[in-house]
Each structure stands twice: as C-alpha cells, then as structure tokens.
C-alpha cells in the first residue's frame, strides 16, 4: 500500500466522520421549541400529570432516604478523620481505629 493510498483512506474516513456528525445537527430544525434550548415534547398520550398515571414510578420514601442517610454518615466519618488529623497530623482512613 502506498503513502498516497493511505492518505486517501484517511481523508475519506475523516470526511465520512464529519458528514455523520453534522447530519444529526441538521435533522432537527427547532420549530417546536417553547424557548431556546427547551425543545422537549411528550409523546402522544403522555399525561399532563404523571402522579397516579401508569408512568408514575411510585418511589418508596425509605429507598429515597438511603442516599441522603449515607451522605450524612459519610460526612460524620470525614469530620472524625479531619479532627483526628488536625490533632495528630496523621490521616487514618479506617474510622473504627479512631475510637
């Protein structure tokens, strides 16, 4: 394979990639946007109010609270680590070793 053939292949591949990347941008003309950047529209049949419909995920409050609880616990552990570090100058990752 010659250098000219390789160069032609690279140019064709670049042109194909450029064509594919711009095709998506040209496909939507934005005529249904409520405001610039606000172009979401529900599919036909999607309810105005999700709560109580078949699209309602019905999340369990206990499940939703798990993340906030774990973040609170993490912040408490980090506060213990930081206090120990300020006192001793030694960083201990395992909080059980601090007690």
For the cut 70, the answer to whether the pLDDT of residue 37 exceeds it is yes
For the cut 70, the answer to whether the pLDDT of residue 31 exceeds it is no
pTM: 0.45
What is the pLDDT, as a whole number, of residue 20? 64
What single DSSP character describes residue 47?
-
Does 43 map to a domain?
Answer: no
| 98 CB neighbour count, 10 Å cutoff | 13
CA distance 88 to 17: 57
Q: Could you list the residue range(s) of the whole structural domain that residue 75 is in?
A: 59-99
Q: Residues with Cβ < 8 Å from 28, sequence gap 6 or more?
A: 39
Residue with tokens 């160069």: 7
Does 93 map to a domain?
Answer: yes
Bridge partners of 38, per DSSP, are: 35
Does 87 map to a domain?
Answer: yes
What's the domain count of the chain?
1
Give the pLDDT mean for 43-71: 89
Does 94 map to a domain?
Answer: yes
| 84 CB neighbour count, 10 Å cutoff | 16
What is the pLDDT, as a whole number, of residue 95? 93
CATH of the domain at 99: 4.10.160.10
Q: pLDDT band at 28, cuts 50/70/90?
A: low
């Amino acid at each position: 394979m010659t250098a000219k053939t390789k160069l032609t292949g690279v140019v064709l591949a670049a042109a194909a990639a450029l064509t594919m990347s711009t095709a998506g941008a040209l496909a939507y003309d934005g005529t249904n946007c409520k405001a610039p950047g606000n172009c979401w529209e529900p599919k036909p049949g999607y309810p105005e109010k999700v709560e109580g419909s078949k699209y309602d995920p019905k999340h369990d409050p206990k499940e939703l609270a798990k993340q906030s609880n774990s973040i609170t616990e993490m912040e408490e552990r980090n506060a213990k680590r930081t206090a120990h570090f300020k006192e001793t100058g030694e960083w201990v990752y395992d909080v059980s070793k601090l007690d």
